[in-house]
Chains A and B, each alone.
Chain A
Amino acid sequence: MSVTSRRKPKLAVWKFASCDGCQLSLLDCEDELLALAGEVEIAYFPEASSATVRGPYDLSLVEGSITTADDRERILRVRSSSRRLVTIGACATAGGIQALRNFADVEDFVALVYAQPDYISTLATSTPISAHVPVDFELHGCPIDKRQLLEVISAQLIGRRPAIATTSVCTECKRRGTVCVMVAHGTPCLGPVTHAGCGAICPSYDRGCYGCFGPMETPNVPALTRQMRALDATETAIDRVFHTFNATAPPFAGVGSDRD
């Protein structure tokens, strides 16, 4: 144990292409925010503070995906000034909803949305942070769960592995005693293949899981798509639900590609 005066670890929060919802989850920790601010120095967090402290940073939380040439360079600088780098959310971890462009021609997208396509600079793809730099931990979710965020920050600062389950949403339904919406109501549900973490919210609201936490570790996607077909889900509906918030994450990305 060190008896020297402890320097507070420096925390930085970075944003790339995203909706701000995952970094907002930090500010949504209403009961823990001031305690957290007592333990870490919030050194760079422009959404919350106009003060900035120079790096290097002990922990960087990165929200958003890489979609521009500038951001492709900026993430390299973020990595080199960060001891630990954790991605927060589906955009940073899997490219996000904006990765739907990866399946289309981005030029067409620009022309559809903007009157003067020449003014727009963008990459043809939206890619996760791990496609560009080494990542120390990836937190899933669209949005992330704030309790998981606090667990990851605590674990990173103490230097232990975060206690984040890699099992499926199904296990969370069982634990909270939610009746299976697929078995009891015939509602198609991505719970069997989706990464745990949200606490199985949708089924507790009589809704099938729509996979916003992305794939669990080693999911059996073909078995689920067979069951969804048995419940009369159309091929289009199955393709759409897998290709939404984590569309480029294998094996969600491959759903439908085995058909003509």
Chain B
Amino acid sequence: MTERRTKTIKTDVLARVEGEGAMRVRIESGRVTEVQLKIYEPPRFFEAFLRGRDFTEALDITSRICGICPIAYQMSAVTAMESLCGVEVGGQLRALRRLLYCGEWIESHALHVFMLHAPDFLGFESAVAMARDHPTIVTDALALKKAGNEIMRVVGGREVHPINLRVGGVYRAPRKAELATLVEGLERAREIALGAVRLTASFDFPDYDQEFELVALAQPGEYPIDRGRIISSAGLDIAPPEYESQFVEQHVPWSHALHSQRAGGGSYLVGPLARFATSFAALTPLAREVAVEVGLRTPERNPFRSIVVRSVELVHAVDEALELIAAYEEPDAPAIEVTPRAGVGHGATEAPRGLLYHRYEIDADGTILAANIVPPTSQNQVAIEADLRGVVERSLELPDEQLSRLCEQTIRNYDPCISCATHFLKLEIERC
């Protein structure tokens, strides 16, 4: 007779993620039989109520999907609408938008690296608790985050749901003198970001590689942020309008977020690891040097090291922001005229946590007829579940409490934004 024992362990709230969800791992006779990342953040139906709205409204409306990466939503929306209307925003207007996007990367990455993820590695429940033993780390982190938020405030009007982007450009181009006020904070931020790379690289990482297809935007000579083709480590190379022919969304019973997969089957990964793998050469020299110095591989396939890659991207974003500010000339007009026309438009940009795809169909008056939005966390959900399975299988000997913590940390490797994908992750391990 085999003795069967069923044990269920619950960590009521998986904290330090953006959104509400739960995790369920079922272990039978030493084998992982089921892994589910449950997202029960209540559905909000953006794609439904966008219908009937004006094409100029999509950016401010979709911004409300996520308070952490509103610029990503705004930029994917404006890119889609502009391509639909046959307009390309270039020159200093594009530079301003890219600067604003760098600001979002800095505030979001600094939030995730230091306030959500580093406490896992240093053994604290929160950044505030961490501040008691490591006051300099936390005050530096807050200064770095603030440098990003200052860009959001000056260029975008405010930190959360900025108001300055519009289809065709911006409402008001900031004066050179306004941007100059950002430089001192960013120069300090650059030093802090370099320190963050060295600090996070010194953490203990489990020896664990995964083989997912890595998918990111790519644009010659530029680190992927606001535009580009969609490429992958497996040779994919498509324009954004082809996205839906290569990736499919599926609805599973345990989640309010749709699961995205490659059309031929198989999970893939978007985000810092994917961008770093496919566009390493386009990082600023300083970001590249520090990445090499701390021994990151290209591609880096250990998801636990994503915190180091995210820190390298912090160096890049600060560096690039400083370059954009130095080269800034006030444009003649804050926006170019955009006239709506009937058709379908596609927008793909790199949110801090990965590729964010929007598609809109509008009529000749500019009224939105249909909308489709695929956030990065939906795309990573299958990979997160596969990764959890791998991590649990390799760590079955751990006591439940430690295993739970390891699972939570594994989920945080992906900086999941569950508000985007649809918040609390509740972890449940069931052993039979």
Report whether chain A binds chain B.
yes
Assess A34 versus B139: contact at CB under 8 Å? Given A19-B64, A119-B253.
Answer: yes
> A25 to B145, alpha carbons, bound, how many Å?
12
Nearest residue in A to B18 (C-beta to C-beta)? A20
**Per-residue 0/1 for A38-60: is the Cβ within 8 Å of any B Cβ (1 yes, 0 no)?**
00001001111111100000000
How far does the Cβ of B180 sit from chain A's closest Cβ, in whole Å? 18
Q: B49 contacts the other chain (Cβ, under 8 Å)?
A: yes
**Per-residue 0/1 for A89-123: is the Cβ within 8 Å of any B Cβ (1 yes, 0 no)?**
00000001110110010101110111110011010
Q: A207 contacts the other chain (Cβ, under 8 Å)?
A: yes
> A232 to B238, alpha carbons, bound, how many Å?
43
> A51 to B126, alpha carbons, bound, how many Å?
8
Tell me the residues in window 213-249 of chain A with beta carbons closer than 8 Å to chain B beta carbons. 237, 240, 244-245
> A240 to B58, alpha carbons, bound, how many Å?
12
**Cβ of B15 and Cβ of A97 under 8 Å apart?**
no
* Cβ 8 A contact of B43, one of A21, A42, A113, A207: A113
**Interface range, B side:** 35 or more
**Cβ of B15 and Cβ of A50 under 8 Å apart?**
yes
Q: Which of B46, B149, B251 has the most C-beta atoms of chain A within 10 angstroms of its own C-beta?
A: B251
> A40 to B250, alpha carbons, bound, how many Å?
44
**Cβ of B139 and Cβ of A50 under 8 Å apart?**
no
**Cβ of A17 and Cβ of B44 under 8 Å apart?**
yes
**Cβ of A30 and Cβ of B42 under 8 Å apart?**
no
Task: Report how many residues on chain A are interfacial, defined by Cβ distance under 8 Å.
Answer: 65
Tell me the residues in window 28-86 of chain A with beta carbons closer than 8 Å to chain B beta carbons. 28, 30-31, 33-34, 37, 42, 45-52, 67-68, 71
**Per-residue 0/1 for B385-401: is the Cβ within 8 Å of any A Cβ (1 yes, 0 no)?**
00000000000000000
* Cβ 8 A contact of A49, one of B16, B70, B251: B16
> A37 to B138, alpha carbons, bound, how many Å?
13
> A202 to B424, alpha carbons, bound, how many Å?
33
* Cβ 8 A contact of B128, one of A16, A33, A100, A119: A33
Q: Which of B47, B67, B171 has the most C-beta atoms of chain A within 10 angstroms of its own C-beta?
A: B67
How far does the Cβ of A180 sit from chain B's closest Cβ, in whole Å? 15
Q: A193 contacts the other chain (Cβ, under 8 Å)?
A: no
Q: B146 contacts the other chain (Cβ, under 8 Å)?
A: yes
* Cβ 8 A contact of A46, one of B15, B42, B60, B119: B15
> A237 to B424, alpha carbons, bound, how many Å?
38
Inter-chain contacts of B61 with A (CB < 8 A):
97, 244
Nearest residue in A to B146 (C-beta to C-beta)? A30
Q: B158 contacts the other chain (Cβ, under 8 Å)?
A: yes
**Cβ of A24 and Cβ of B68 under 8 Å apart?**
yes
Q: Closest 9 interchain pairs by CB?
A: A21-B67, A49-B126, A51-B125, A50-B15, A109-B48, A143-B160, A30-B146, A100-B49, A98-B44
Can you list 5 A-B pairs with a CB-CB distance of less than 8 A? A24-B68, A34-B131, A48-B128, A50-B125, A201-B158
